A = this chain, B = another copy of it.
Amino acid sequence: MGAMATTRRTGQDRVPPHPDITTITLQQVLEALVDPVRRHIVGELYSARQDLSCGTIDLPVSKSTATHHFNVLREAGLIHQYYAGTSRMNGLRRDEIDAAFPGLLRALVAGRGD
């Protein structure tokens, strides 16, 4: 109602909160990575070795569900997200994950056959 009374929210203001990786438990990581769709996302980011927008990774789910999965991954400290135009970019927090859970990421993405 208040005609544009709210401050204009743009660009950087849209970036969601990212957790400190050291506060993440193994339990959280496993709950995030037990889902095949989310593990697929991580696998793509892992082999791409660069940030990817949500759209570039095609998933067997609707857009709203995809958003949900990216959110879970971010909240688990596994990816970082930021905006580039209308696209939301996603990057794997590889080094941090490796530091917090040595060997885990490699063991999971290596699990080819699934």
Q: Which A residues fall within an 8 A CB radius of B?
A: 25-27, 30-31, 33-34, 36, 39, 101-104, 106-108, 110-111, 113-114
Contacts and interface: CB of A to CB of B under 8 A. Distances in A.
13 contacts: A25-B111, A25-B114, A27-B36, A30-B39, A30-B108, A101-B107, A101-B110, A101-B111, A102-B107, A104-B104, A104-B107, A104-B108, A107-B107
A73 to B, nearest CB: 15
A89 B106 CA distance: 32
B33 A30 contact: yes
A114 B26 contact: yes
Given A25-B113, A30-B33, 7 more contacts: A26-B111, A27-B114, A30-B30, A34-B34, A103-B107, A103-B110, A104-B107
Nearest to A36: B27
A110 to B, nearest CB: 7
Nearest to A32: B34
A90 to B, nearest CB: 21
